[in-house]
Structure 1
Amino acid sequence: MKEANDESLEWTLVRRSLMEELTGEEQQQLNTWLNASPAHQAYYDRISGFNPAEGLPGLSKEQYERDFIRYVSLIRQAKRQQKRRRLVYFTRYAAVFVVLLAVGVYFWYQGTSVSETPVTSLPLAVQGKPQPILVTEEGARVLLDEQGRSLQQISHGRISSGKHGIVYNNISQGTTSAVVGHHTLIIPRGGEYRVELADGTIVWLNSETEFSYPVSFADSTREVTLKGEAYFEVAKSAKPFKVRVEDVVVKVYGTHFNVNSYDKERVQTVLLSGSVGVSSLKHPAVEQMIKPNEMADVNVLTGRCEVKTVDAAAYAAWKDGYFSFEHETLEQIMEKLSRWYDVQVTFENDEVRTHRFSGRVDRSESFRGVLNLLQRTLLVKFEVEGNRIIVTK
């Protein structure tokens, strides 16, 4: 364990302890930290024995009584549900406390006290509704509405509208690659979309993403190109399915996985089920295989691949309508929020960029609501100038 004054301390252990989720090894780590200093034990006792009648610095007793009652109720419900489900779905009120326990505890321990100021005057644009653009093989650009009515202009029987996006009909699967047309979907900031390819593969596309694919697949291969983030449910087939992202190639045969390339220097592939091989064009002979709940993190500049164990479902939570943050820096969180709510974020204080938070928030939550949740941790403050969000603390 790291020292208590290190901001990167794994407060996740404290939260997991309160949720009765600790493994034997994690319990030993927590015990080591508790025994390292009387202050650590006093702090843990304070959190585990929190009394809503006392409140916390900067927030009213009534506010914490209300939120704490909701939090305790949700924790008890989560414990019952965890036998059936891997992830705990917190509401906005539980998210407040998860965020507080994950990182705010460091500042409580230091005695920081800041009064709460609600975020106001935020832009009221509705998130998640901008129309995707479909670019055809002829170069035509068509705006897609939710019902796919615009497809009548370019479909020619190849495409139909589905409940959540568009579906490519399984025609001309034996067409040679020389004559196969390619389409590109462009998802703007604040949008998301779903497409079912001609082979039955389903792809969810996140905000600020470009996805190119053949209208029908040639006999020898199934290959698509991605820039941004997408979740794939690949239809099983003897033909390999390849996702090309910059100089990185992800090769699968039937699986569920998420690919993120928002960072221009990294491509992260997280596997939920099945088997995936990841390679770089810089080292094409080396294919790194990963298993479910593993991430292949490839440095685009060097081609080096690092494999990490992760909670794969958390990386795909966006597909199910959630933001899921696990010990992420505020800078990482604000990048995700700015992409979804289509706002610009500026930090006035570099130190606040590294504050870490954990939590789970519905993506249908208003931007004002999400910022208020973060601001209520007493660790961060926001100011608004039009469509520009300034982080001032």
Structure 2
Amino acid sequence: MKKIIIKYIANTITDQELETLRLWLKKENNQETFDEYIKASYDIDTVMNKPDLDTAYKKIRHSIDTEKKSKFRILPVWSRYAAAAVIVFMFSYVYVFYNKEQPVEVLNSFVTVVESGVDKATLTLDDGSNIILEAGTVYNNKTVASNGEEIIYKKEQETIINLEDKVEANKTESKIAYNYLTTPRGGEFQITLADGTQVWLNSETKLKYPTVFKKGESRQIELVYGEAYFDVSSSKNHHGATFKVISNLQEVEVFGTEFNIKAYKDEASVYTTLAEGKVAVSNFAFKENLKVGQQSVIDKSTGKINVKTVNIYNETAWRLGAFSFKNKTLKEIMKVLSRWYDIDIVFENKELETIKFNGVLNKKMTLEETLNSIKRSSNLNYLVNDTKIILK
């Protein structure tokens, strides 16, 4: 239910999930659960003075009971009690930023609409050939199928026991084929591996994996770069075989769980956040076991591992159709937006880089809508120059 509540807040809930939430809220004892989760996840007490959670609860109940079912819609009034006063359309300052006179030539408008990212990726087969995956395209071969929104590998087959086929089977097993799935800037994609593990790839991400996993051996894949969320098929379903994710500077050993790894090439650190279960993070010199809600941070320059407690939603909201920023600098936010909208963002005014914000943005908004939502609570202005946005 937490995931469904998050998707409702992020404005990405499906009709079926909306009905599930409506029925769940009919039970009186769920009101307290709902209130406590909203308060814990979005720090309401630090955003507003004496928030009226009872009123907020009644508003969401009324909204769900009366609204026409629709996947994307304007959030109801109750959302102002969540992350940052108005959860999607407004940001709140963490620092005070002093206004300066703005240049008159700044237009703050786009000649053409810069749409949000979409489902798209490139599948690279073992022979080096590339297959473009995107909405409206269908691809199938003997091991994999894609409908343009996700790619699914066929489940592992039982070992052939026929004596005549045994030698050929051993030859095949010794030559495991590896594929790559790569999302560009402005793209994301979902994949189901041969063992049933699900992986969501964020923008500008590359994943290497076998088309099948050898029985009795650890299931190993590689996050070459980028960010991905993993929902790993339990080792109990694979004769105890563990699951490992290799990425820049680290190895994550998994025992059937959900976690997020962010390992972008232009980031100074590698981040691993545990959402469910347990994982062990190692950089081959040190090893840390993470608990749910903890994040390991490996500094690329020193190799040192630090572990801290984080808000899981803030770190994984991108998978659920939203960006959640808690105490993030404008520079960090713009790095995320540049990947998602496939556009370069330049700070002409360097003082803007260190301003910090709290807020949640729907990933389906256009770039202009996103920038304007930030601009309304700051003195941010921007100039559009072809594929570059200059922040003034």
Q: TM-score, normalised by structure 2?
A: 0.72
The residue type paired with residue 128 of structure 1 is G
Structure 2 Cα separation of the partners of residues 268 and 315 of structure 1: 10
Given that residues 152 and 193 in structure 2 are in contact (C-alpha distance below 8 angstroms), is that contact kept between their aligned partners in structure 1?
Answer: yes
| CA deviation map 1:218-238 (0-9, x unaligned) | 120111111100000001012
Q: Give the match's secondary structure for 1:254.
A: coil
Using the TM superposition, give the Cα deviation of residue 214 of structure 1 relative to its aligned residue in structure 2, in angstroms: 0.4
Q: Give the match's secondary structure for 2:327.
A: strand
Given that residues 12 and 327 in structure 1 are in contact (C-alpha distance below 8 angstroms), is that contact kept between their aligned partners in structure 2?
Answer: no
The one of 151, 154, 161 aligned to 1:166:
151
Using the TM superposition, give the Cα deviation of residue 187 of structure 1 relative to its aligned residue in structure 2, in angstroms: 0.3
Instruction: State the match for 1:210 in structure 2.
Output: 206
Instruction: State the match for 1:201 in structure 2.
Output: 197
The residue type paired with residue 199 of structure 1 is D
| CA deviation map 1:234-287 (0-9, x unaligned) | 010121111111221111111111100124431100011100110103x1xx32
Given that residues 245 and 252 in structure 2 are in contact (C-alpha distance below 8 angstroms), is that contact kept between their aligned partners in structure 1?
Answer: yes
Moved more, 257-266 or 316-325: 257-266
The residue type paired with residue 254 of structure 1 is G
Given that residues 229 and 258 in structure 2 are in contact (C-alpha distance below 8 angstroms), is that contact kept between their aligned partners in structure 1?
Answer: yes
Q: Taking structure 1 as reference, are residues 19 and 271 closer, same or farther at Cα in structure 2, changes over 3 Å only?
A: farther
Instruction: State the match for 1:190 in structure 2.
Output: 186
Q: Give the match's secondary structure for 1:318.
A: helix
Q: How does 1:1-393 map to 2 (within 5 A)?
A: 14-15=46-47, 17=49, 19=51, 73-75=77-79, 78=81, 88=82, 93-97=86-90, 99-100=91-92, 102-103=93-94, 106-107=96-97, 119-129=108-118, 131-146=120-135, 148-149=137-138, 151-152=139-140, 155-156=141-142, 158-161=143-146, 164-172=149-157, 178-219=174-215, 220-226=217-223, 227-237=225-235, 238-262=240-264, 263-281=266-284, 283=285, 286-392=286-392
Q: Taking structure 1 as reference, are residues 330 and 89 closer, same or farther at Cα in structure 2, changes over 3 Å only?
A: closer
% of aligned pairs identical? 30
Q: Taking structure 1 as reference, are residues 228 and 304 closer, same or farther at Cα in structure 2, changes over 3 Å only?
A: same
Structure 1 Cα separation of the partners of residues 218 and 308 of structure 2: 29
Given that residues 154 and 194 in structure 2 are in contact (C-alpha distance below 8 angstroms), is that contact kept between their aligned partners in structure 1?
Answer: yes
Q: Taking structure 1 as reference, are residues 276 and 309 closer, same or farther at Cα in structure 2, changes over 3 Å only?
A: same
Structure 2 Cα separation of the partners of residues 269 and 73 of structure 1: 35
Structure 1 Cα separation of the partners of residues 49 and 175 of structure 2: 59
Structure 2 Cα separation of the partners of residues 125 and 201 of structure 1: 33
Given that residues 119 and 134 in structure 2 are in contact (C-alpha distance below 8 angstroms), is that contact kept between their aligned partners in structure 1?
Answer: no
Structure 1 Cα separation of the partners of residues 183 and 191 of structure 2: 12
Given that residues 257 and 272 in structure 1 are in contact (C-alpha distance below 8 angstroms), is that contact kept between their aligned partners in structure 2?
Answer: yes
Structure 1 Cα separation of the partners of residues 391 and 99 of structure 2: 22
Instruction: State the match for 1:4 in structure 2.
Output: none
Structure 2 Cα separation of the partners of residues 370 and 135 of structure 1: 33
Q: What are structure 1's unaligned runs of at least 5 residues?
A: 1-10, 22-69, 79-87
Using the TM superposition, give the Cα deviation of residue 207 of structure 1 relative to its aligned residue in structure 2, in angstroms: 0.4
Using the TM superposition, give the Cα deviation of residue 118 of structure 1 relative to its aligned residue in structure 2, in angstroms: 6.7
The residue type paired with residue 269 of structure 2 is R
The residue type paired with residue 15 of structure 1 is V
The residue type paired with residue 243 of structure 1 is V
Given that residues 189 and 201 in structure 2 are in contact (C-alpha distance below 8 angstroms), is that contact kept between their aligned partners in structure 1?
Answer: yes
Q: Give the match's secondary structure for 2:203.
A: coil
Structure 2 Cα separation of the partners of residues 16 and 305 of structure 1: 35
Using the TM superposition, give the Cα deviation of residue 163 of structure 1 relative to its aligned residue in structure 2, in angstroms: 8.1
Higher relative CO (CA 8 A, sep ≥ 6), structure 1 or 2? 2
Q: Taking structure 1 as reference, are residues 178 and 299 closer, same or farther at Cα in structure 2, changes over 3 Å only?
A: farther
| CA deviation map 1:62-87 (0-9, x unaligned) | xxxxxxxx9993257x5xxxxxxxxx
The residue type paired with residue 167 of structure 1 is I
Structure 2 Cα separation of the partners of residues 173 and 352 of structure 1: 58
Q: Give the match's secondary structure for 1:144.
A: strand
The residue type paired with residue 184 of structure 1 is Y
Using the TM superposition, give the Cα deviation of residue 311 of structure 1 relative to its aligned residue in structure 2, in angstroms: 0.4
Using the TM superposition, give the Cα deviation of residue 145 of structure 1 relative to its aligned residue in structure 2, in angstroms: 2.6
| CA deviation map 1:333-386 (0-9, x unaligned) | 000000000110111121110000110010000100000011111331111111
Structure 1 Cα separation of the partners of residues 174 and 180 of structure 2: 18
Structure 1 Cα separation of the partners of residues 158 and 302 of structure 2: 37
Structure 1 Cα separation of the partners of residues 333 and 271 of structure 2: 17
The residue type paired with residue 224 of structure 1 is I
Question: Paired residues, what number?
Answer: 311
Moved more, 120-129 or 261-270: 120-129
Given that residues 188 and 207 in structure 1 are in contact (C-alpha distance below 8 angstroms), is that contact kept between their aligned partners in structure 2?
Answer: yes
Q: Give the match's secondary structure for 2:241.
A: coil
Using the TM superposition, give the Cα deviation of residue 17 of structure 1 relative to its aligned residue in structure 2, in angstroms: 4.4
Structure 2 Cα separation of the partners of residues 373 and 278 of structure 1: 38
Q: Taking structure 1 as reference, are residues 352 and 89 closer, same or farther at Cα in structure 2, changes over 3 Å only?
A: closer
Given that residues 130 and 191 in structure 1 are in contact (C-alpha distance below 8 angstroms), is that contact kept between their aligned partners in structure 2?
Answer: yes
